[in-house]
Structure 1
């Protein structure tokens, strides 16, 4: 498990599973000859996208960012369509840290698309039950509303199976919340209408999780947004707002989906000056 140390804070990446999604969809209107220089694809034009939750402890709380894709939550057809060849080992990873799922106090959900929310529940007999029964699950009010009442487009990713069992655990916010000192969830919209980013200030370091506004390091360009984004101009605006400030402050950008890097620091010219690489990372061209 890779770790990032920032002051007294330690971020640890768990194994939440993997998807392999169409590279064209993940880079939108960007031509393949451009994006393929920055991120590898397979012979099906799919790119590897981790779904690895980030664990940390702060103020006596055990906290997760995102939840992975769980186990036995997808049909064979879904696993094939989403390129899933590895499911979650979150529980095993927590055990290595001396933590159980029941010990998790908070889960910070940037949004509730299936590849982020499947791991919130687990199969028990014929039922789905909370995977982290004592956790408060934070997501934006807008995201939670659409999760429960998806539109014709979003119903393909907001599934009732992913919210019904955990509804009593959810706490929402309008534009911003600080669930624990120094950690903020900030509503941006863009990828989804309720999408949020997460910032962490700790020990003189600033960390930022752009979530699916910038799912990989290869999406650094403000104009490189996903075909999956419901509101691409909002995605672009959020990246134009947050990236220059974070680069100026030499912030750590950390990722849930990136198969190459867990975290990077860029200078103001967009050059990587520090990084935490994922073990057995996908080969970069």
Structure 2
């Protein structure tokens, strides 16, 4: 498990599973000869997308960012279509850290698509049960409304099996929420109408997780947004806004989906000056 450590702040990446999604869909209108220079693909034109939650430990709180794809939440057809070669090891990872899912105080959900939210729930004696039973689960009010009432397009990714068991733990917000000092979720829209990003400010250092408006390091170009985005022009506007913020604050970028990087800091010339690379798992 890769870890970022500062005095009073630790971020540990857990193994939440992996998907392989169509590269053309993940890079929208960007031609393959361009995006394929930045991110590898397999012979099915799929790119590897991790679904690895971040465990933040700060001020005595244990905060999980995103939840992975879980275990046995997808049927055989879904695993095949989404290129799932490995499911979640979050519980085993927590155990190695001397923790259990019940020790998680807060879960921050940037949005509730299946590849972020399926790990919130597990089967116990055949019944769906909240995995992080003692946690407050934060998501935007707009996102939670769509989770409850998905439309003809979004019902393919807002799965009701991921909603019912966690309903009593949900706490929503409108524009932004500071869950503990220095850690905020901010609503952006774009990828979904209720999509949010994560900001961390700690002892003069800033970190930003742009979630699915910048899912990988290869999406650093402001115009490179997903065909999956419900509101692509909002994604572009918000990505530009928050990348400018990151530049002003000299912030490091954190990733949930990237196959290679956990964290990157770029200079003004777009060169990587600091990074944490993922140690590949063997399937």
**TM-score, L = length of structure 2:** 0.98
The reply on whether 1:58 has 2:58 as its aligned counterpart is yes
The structure whose RCO (Cα within 8 Å, separation 6+) is larger is: 1
The reply on whether 1:124 has 2:124 as its aligned counterpart is yes
In the alignment, what sits opposite 1:81?
Answer: 81
In the alignment, what sits opposite 1:165?
Answer: 165
The reply on whether 1:155 has 2:155 as its aligned counterpart is yes
**Number of residue pairs matched?**
282
Coordinate RMSD, CA, aligned: 1.1
The answer for unaligned runs of 5 or more in structure 1 is none
Provide, for residues 209-233 of structure 1, a one-character-per-residue CA deviation record: whole Å limited to 9, x for no partner: 0000000000000100000000000
Secondary structure of 2:258 counterpart = coil
Secondary structure of 2:115 counterpart = helix
Provide, for residues 85-140 of structure 1, a one-character-per-residue CA deviation record: whole Å limited to 9, x for no partner: 10000001111111100010000000000000000000112210000100000000
| Mapping of residues 179-190 of structure 1, within 5 Å | 179-190=179-190
The reply on whether 1:254 has 2:254 as its aligned counterpart is yes
Report if aligned partners of 1:14, 1:89 keep a CA contact under 8 Å in 2.
Answer: yes
In the alignment, what sits opposite 2:14?
Answer: 14
Provide, for residues 179-227 of structure 1, a one-character-per-residue CA deviation record: whole Å limited to 9, x for no partner: 1110010000000000000000012210000000000000000100000
Distance 2:119 2:281 in 1: 23
In the alignment, what sits opposite 1:42?
Answer: 42
Distance 1:4 1:40 in 2: 26
Shift of 1:35: 0.4
Provide, for residues 226-272 of structure 1, a one-character-per-residue CA deviation record: whole Å limited to 9, x for no partner: 00000000000001101022023221100000011000001122211
